[in-house]
Structure 1
Amino acid sequence: MSGNTLGKLFCVSNFGESHGPAIGAVVDGCPPGLALSADDIQAELDRRRPGTSRHVTQRQEADQVEILSGLYEGVTTGTPIGLLIRNTDARSKDYSNIADTFRPGHADYAYWKKYEHRDPRGGGRSSARLTAPTVAAGAIAKKWLAQTYGVKVRGYMSQLGPVSIPFQDWSHVDNNPFFAPNADVIPELEAFMDQLRRDGDSIGARIEVVAEGVPAGWGEPLYDRLDADIAHAMMGLNAVKGVSIGAGFGCITQRGSEHGDEITPDGFETNHAGGVLGGISSGQPLLVSLAIKPTSSIRVERRSVNRANEPVQVQTLGRHDPCVGIRATPIAEALLAIILMDHALRHRAQCG
């Protein structure tokens, strides 16, 4: 099955299934000499881990990472880094009722049409469980970027369904289960999610990711543009249906006199471009926004078909995130860090 590797010089290959014995990643291309431990990676995995609040899936996975290779005496050697995360709380019986049917909005149908085989347990390969290895690999990229270039990658939720979340302060983001940058809106978000769970339904969200300290010059025209690679990576995150950079679709109503960021000897006056010009970083903060669709696994009965193409009613039981966007912030941060590290190495190789 192709399509499981991200990056050219900093390459992350993701493997495993939601209810298999383990999931993981092979990280190839990390330069030697980076001090790295399981604790560095675990801190990021703990931010994404399931079961951390009543608003996410109650699957209880410790997500303890094991580093299998690529380190000697606590330092990267330049060889592939093997990362393993064992699955310890899979309940495959929860999916017995959908083994022969397809959830509306889910990848079930597309996987079946492509491969004529699929693993229905927890969504198999299409499960958001497979974002854990991405976060583990992203932790390596985050540390290398910070130490080598002073780049800082962080994100937050800016909207949960119909509820907008005005940005207040970064200090709030890691102090609530929503990664919301505003403490005042938390009661409203909690009430909304409690009602959603009672309804047996799901909702979408909007996530913002920011990379600060990115040097100017990263990115390669025409088809390896930095923003194109960012969009490519972000669309690999389960449930993402839209990616925008900077002003995004807001540029449609902007005039050129407004959208074009004026430049002075002291720098840019605005950042509608989102830190990328012509596919190359401008030195401004990179601004990425993601639209995440509602979870497809819901208790509300929906019309579908089975493998014999007969009409059925589908209801999904088991443990699911009513909003996958709640845990998406650390994943989006990881993906942005992976792409930035890959482009940093590519720029260094070409331009010194």
Structure 2
Amino acid sequence: MLQVEQLTRRFGDHTAVDNVSFDVPDGQLIGFVGGNGAGKTTTMRMIMGVLAIHGGQVLVNGRPITLADRKTFGYMPEERGLYPKQRIIDQLVYLGRLHGMSQKAARASATDHLERFGLGERAQDHVEKLSLGNQQRVQIIAAVMAQPTALVLDEPFSGLDPTAVDQMAAVLREHSRRGVPILFSSHQLDLVERLCDGLVILARGKVVGKGTADQLRGDAPVRHRLVLDGDAGWTRDLPGLYVADVEGNTAVLEVMTPGAERELLEHALRRGSIREFARIVPPLSEIYREVTADAHNVHDGDHALDFAGDKAKEFSA
């Protein structure tokens, strides 16, 4: 397990990462999301030892992380580090050797991954001849080819076409099935929701939400959609309900008083047919906007309110 405990990093008077804590359990994919400047890249760089830690610590299986641990991690930085004039296969073999692989093992793994990502015929090309999307594929291969014990990936899906996204997702699932903890950042919330076992949401350098998508939805108001044959405006007059929106024959509402939904349905049936009455499951993008908006609007002294205590849900072990 990879654990981040009260991690803090300052740049001059600015605190970029402020007491950030979360776990990345073995065999789980954890999505790391937040707006530009939220502190995701800085946190990842501290995990990997690229930036000094000003407070807190990173643990591996309950003990402080070491240089030896980090050498076994697969890391994909925000700013790609490929050598444009070098041949793709030579570069991947070189990077594999830096991870302790033999020449033979590195070449075999690089060749296999290039085939999987549709680049087998480009192995002898120089990196600079590849499109940005294909360069991204090579950078991903460099991160995963040495059977890493953990993966820390900064925007690994950026610039990938749908086929490459599916290929990358399959590779990550393979590593998670063998017990590798995986942390990756992304602005693609639909992708995060589809792939991840849990999420960590940052805003202004603080954790403002963490848990599974369903756990985070648990803090959102429960709303239902009612679709009728006729106009739904009359729902506003019923007690025990908060009607958030009415448009023609459709009403979006919250049940404020237990049992009010029964009276609602009885009234609706007396007026005609009910086409739909169902709970609305808010998308992750809506939950994200709510928790990050709260963090930007609510302050405690000079600091944004930390929701990690009451608002956020912890990962189940």
Question: Which range, TM-score by smaller chain?
Answer: under 0.3
**Larger-Rg structure:** 2
Q: Specify which structure has the higher proportion of strand.
A: 2
TM-score by length of 2: 0.26
